[in-house]
Amino acid sequence: MSSIAQLLDGKALAQRMQAELAEQVKALQKQHGRAPGLAVLMVGDNPASAAYVRNKERACQTVGIVSFGTHFPAETTQAELEQTIWNLNHDDRVDGILVQLPLPDHLDSVALLNQIHPDKDADGLHPTNLGRLVRGEPGLRSCTPAGVMRLLAEYKIDVSGRQAVVVGRSILVGKPIAMLLLEADATVTIAHSRSPDLSALTCRADILIAAVGRQNLITAEMVKPGSVVVDVGINRVTDGTGKSRLVGDVDFSAVQPIAAYLTPVPGGVGAMTVTMLLHNTVWSYSQKF
């Protein structure tokens, strides 16, 4: 094919949305006497997590959200964290709570996430919010899937009546994005590691979402010409010189001449995830008044 895919620029959209959120926060603060607040809890010293948390705190600063971040030592107990979450649930200055995953092995992340009040669940992962998503009711949506839908909307990509294939079934991305696509009237297939003949499924996709975390999982022959390919994967690879870079689940250079639209990594979905976290925090705040 002579043309190459148009890139879905999540970074540019995220910057624009953050500028809009900053205006919104300024107006809300004037009206209600305080800014929205987000508490990010991080345990231990996972370098990737530390980078994500710094990124989130910087983004909060950009839009005027007060950051109540707490960094706990790796040996912090489950009980201490549950008490912290209980306190934040009852703190009127805090509108969003997020537990940065992964946690050290001795902690039960599901039990901790379930302690967060559903209305302060900035990550949209509480069973109540996942239930609202399944029922099509208003509520907090998982940040990455919501970011993908916002990116598709920005480029006026109508998913209604289209064949969507989601590769990956995690509670973080695969399952919620499938539900959001279904809600938008797509016909959705969920594929995963046990799906036989993955390329037979992906070749039918008008919209292909790759969310597994495996470099170059999606190759050129697995992509339908003219389709929309959204790469949610983030994989850190190191070259021969010891330099590391981020790549997705899609073989970008091979797929770019085939797809109509494609998200880059980095600069695609990742930037949207942080922005939707801010959006969720502001939404939670505005529901109180």
Has 170 been labeled as part of a binding site? yes
pLDDT at 244: 87
In whole angstroms, give the CA distance from residue 177 to residue 13.
19
b vs e for 225-235, b when ≥16 Cβ sit within 10 Å of the residue's Cβ?
eebbbbbbbbb
pLDDT at 1: 43
Q: For the chain, percent helix, then strand, then coil, each to nearest 5?
A: 45, 15, 40
Predicted TM-score (pTM) of the model is 0.94
Has 234 been labeled as part of a binding site? yes
Which tokens in the block code for residue 86?
């209980």
Does 162 have pLDDT greater than 80?
A: yes
**Domains defined along the chain, listed by start:** 33-119 (3.40.50.10860), 142-270 (3.40.50.720)
Band (pLDDT 50/70/90 cuts) for residue 47 is confident
Has 168 been labeled as part of a binding site? yes
| Average pLDDT value for residue range 127-132 | 96
- CB 131: neighbour CB atoms within 10 A? 12
Cβ contacts of residue 18 below 8 Å, gap of 6+?
59, 62, 63, 275, 278
Cβ contacts of residue 161 below 8 Å, gap of 6+?
185, 186, 187
Active site residues: 56, 100, 123
Does 104 have pLDDT greater than 60?
A: yes
In whole angstroms, give the CA distance from residue 17 to residue 236.
27
